[in-house]
Structure formats: structure tokens, C-alpha cells
Amino acid sequence: MSSISKKNKVCAVIPFYNESENLPGIINATLPFVDKVIAVNDGSSDDSCSKIKGNENITIISYAENKGKGFALNKGFEESIKEDFDYTVTLDADYQHKPEYIPSLLEELAKSDIVIGNRLNSLNRMPIHRIMSNKLTSLLLSVKTKQKIIDSQCGFRAYRTQVLNSILPTFTGFEAESEILVNAARKNLRISFVYIPTIYNNEKSKMKSLQAIKGFIRVILK
């Protein structure tokens, strides 16, 4: 595969739901590393949208109803495909991902189709229940995909946009990120991982455990 060059167009898809405190900062921190940010408002009920303004470098896609992270990612991917970006990066709006690691993901993407951040080399900041959940889901996905999946739950990823059409998720919740990996494995796409730091503050997770478990089981049985 060819290397990443400055001529390649890169966008970042940032889905968000009630992130008025963090959203402006994460977008501003991301812009130096990409050509455009596609911010997808997944039915926020706070003033998140009023904190950012669309321009030539920021596209805002907004939905009145909260439909789930998978839905929001899908809409961001569709916009990236439509705007003909070469590479699409995804990261969360809650500052769990450091945008300065985007070049590391893109560098690895030169020899892969999908690159995922790996937080499991540094677990001292990750809550124990998240460690257990991540290790279990990563193991099951490794068996399912017949590829080594190190950190299945990390949303900090980079994709070759040309492969997105063939791996778009059908599930609308957090399980969509696992479904993408299953879809990618079926297409014989190469999935790689790069180290990123583990960042957990005191934010309340928007993931509902029972719903996430049910969704993941559906993906495994797909």
C-alpha cells in the first residue's frame, strides 16, 4: 500500500451527545491534524450545537432524536464518502482521545485498512470493569474475526475511506464499532493497532451496560 502523503484528504468524524463542555475544545484540537471535522449531533438536549459553528473546515450534521453512536458514525461516514476524503478518523467528543495521536494512526494506515487505538498497554487509568469488559469482548471478536483484536472498544480509529461502504454498520448503538470489525474481517481487510494513552476522568459513561451487552451478543451471532 502507498504511504500517507500531504496530498491525501483527511477528515475526522466526531459523534456527540450532550458534550457542550468538551466539544469546542476537542474540535479545535483536532483541526490541526485533518482537513475537516464532521461533527454529528446525535440528538443532544443541551447547548452543544450552539457551542460550534459550521464553516469550510467544520460540517455539522444534526438530528433531533438520540439514535445511538452507531447511527451517528454511519451518518459521518456517509458524509466522508460523499465528500471524497481519502482517510476518515473517528474520535469521541469527551476528550478520552488525544487528537495529537492522529498522525500515528495515519502512519500505520499506510499499511492497513483500519487502524485502532490500543489503550491496553497502560491500564492504570482504566476502571476495572472496563478492563474486564474490553478484554472479554476483544477475545470474543478475535475468535469471531480470526484476527487479533487487541482493544475492541476503542473508538479512536482511522479508516481508508474507500473501504467504508463495504463495512458500514447496521446496528445503531455502541455495538456498531464491533460490527464494523466483523464486517471488515469478512472482507479480508487488514486491522492494525497503535498505542494511545488511557484517559479516564470523572465523566459519566453514556453506555448502558445491559443494552451494550445485548447489542454485542447480536453482533457475535451475526
- SS3 state of residue 20: coil
Contact status, residue 179 vs residue 108, Cβ threshold 8 Å: no
Check residue 202 and give its pLDDT.
Answer: 57
- SS3 state of residue 159: strand
Question: What's the rounded mean pLDDT across residues 81-105?
Answer: 96
Average pLDDT, the chain: 90
Q: Is the pLDDT of residue 180 over 90?
A: yes
Q: Which single residue is written with the C-alpha cell 451478543?
A: 217
> In this predicted model, which residue has the larger pLDDT, 132 or 21?
21
Check residue 201 and give its pLDDT.
Answer: 59
Check residue 3 and give its pLDDT.
Answer: 53
How far apart (Å, rounded) are the C-alpha atoms in residues 117 and 97? Answer: 9
Check residue 125 and give its pLDDT.
Answer: 63
- Domains of the chain, each with CATH number or no CATH: 10-220 (3.90.550.10)
* Model pLDDT for residues 29-87, shown as the tens digit of each residue: 999 999 999 999 999 999 999 999 989 999 999 999 999 999 999 999 999 999 999 99
Check residue 2 and give its pLDDT.
Answer: 44
Check residue 145 and give its pLDDT.
Answer: 94
* Amino acid at position 158, single letter: A
Phi, psi of 111 (to 5 degrees): -125, 20
> In this predicted model, which residue has the larger pLDDT, 200 or 192?
192
* Model pLDDT for residues 133-162, shown as the tens digit of each residue: 878 899 999 999 999 999 998 999 999 999
Check residue 213 and give its pLDDT.
Answer: 78
Question: What's the rounded mean pLDDT across residues 104-115?
Answer: 96
Phi, psi of 117 (to 5 degrees): -70, 135
pLDDT over 70 for what percent of the chain? 88
Check residue 84 and give its pLDDT.
Answer: 97
Check residue 77 and give its pLDDT.
Answer: 98
pLDDT over 90 for what percent of the chain? 73
How far apart (Å, rounded) are the C-alpha atoms in residues 5 and 196? Answer: 22
> Which pTM does this prediction carry?
0.89
- Please report which confidence band the pLDDT of residue 1 belongs to, taking 50, 70 and 90 as the band edges: very low
Q: Which H or E element spans position 11?
A: strand 10-16
148 burial via Cβ count (<10 Å: 0-12, 13-18, 19+): exposed
Phi, psi of 36 (to 5 degrees): -155, 145
Check residue 122 and give its pLDDT.
Answer: 64
